[in-house]
Amino acid sequence: ETGVTQTPRHLVMGMTNKKSLKCEQHLGHNAMYWYKQSAKKPLELMFVYNFKEQTENNSVPSRFSPECPNSSHLFLHLHTLQPEDSALYLCASSPAAKEQFFGPGTRLTVL
Amino acid sequence: QKEVEQDPGPLSVPEGAIVSLNCTYSNSAFQYFMWYRQYSRKGPELLMYTYSSGNKEDGRFTAQVDKSSKYISLFIRDSQPSDSATYLCAMSGGSEKLVFGKGTKLTVNP
């Protein structure tokens, strides 16, 4: 266990649904990240939060909406997703903008 | 040119073999280099972390960084079937943003 937990581990949703992914880190880190991992592609950085402030939005469509209420919790709110958004969504945390520690991911399928 | 290039493989070796995994990069500002191991349907796990050039050893794993050639390597000695996974290189210049390779899928056959 890396100290980063994600729920749910699996999610199937229709294109009109609204759902949220949750990430929690128990490591005392100040930075948290959302990544998208699709088959045969490098990890794609989506969002970065540092001390609860968003410091990076990597041109992510507005149907993905992050929320960071405190430095231990990170959410990704999903609405009106497309089938091509099906992927593994990974959360990570970092102590000082160097090595990152990942959670187990949420496997998302959009029907 | 992509910032980080990594041969996706797949790479298949017999148990006990020495495995060499590599990445090249184009950004000379990168100073922090990492290797992650990712088992199927799991999140990436940090395996090795090095700063600047040089070697770092941890058990059967050795990470090498050659900044002059913009080339990093991970060596696995006495490979085991449990080493079968996808290995991702990652690097940064010290900012929050890590740049990842595509990953190399390794299978170690008993």
DSSP-assigned letter for residue A85: G
> What are the DSSP calls for B17-60, one per residue?
--EEEEEEE--TT--EEEEEEE-TTS--EEEEEEESSEEEEETT
CB contact under 8 A, A45 and B97: yes
Residue A104 dihedral angles phi and psi, to the nearest 5°: -75, -15
User: Number of C-alpha atoms within 13 angstroms, CB side, residue A67?
Assistant: 9
pLDDT reading at A26 higher than 70: yes
Interface test with A, best of B6, B35, B98, B104 (most A CBs within 10 A): B98
pLDDT reading at B1 higher than 70: no
- Both tokens of B34, joined, read 């990492």
pLDDT in tens, A51-103: 888 888 888 999 999 999 998 999 999 999 999 999 999 999 998 767 899 99
As a whole number of angstroms, the distance between CA B65 and CA B89 comes to 11
**If interface means Cβ-Cβ distance under 8 Å, which residues of chain A face chain B?**
2, 4, 6, 31, 33, 40-43, 45, 48, 50, 55-56, 90, 94, 97-105, 107
CB contact under 8 A, A100 and B98: yes
Residue B49 makes CB contacts below 8 A (sequence gap 6+) with A98, A99, B32, B33, B34, B56
pLDDT reading at A35 higher than 70: yes
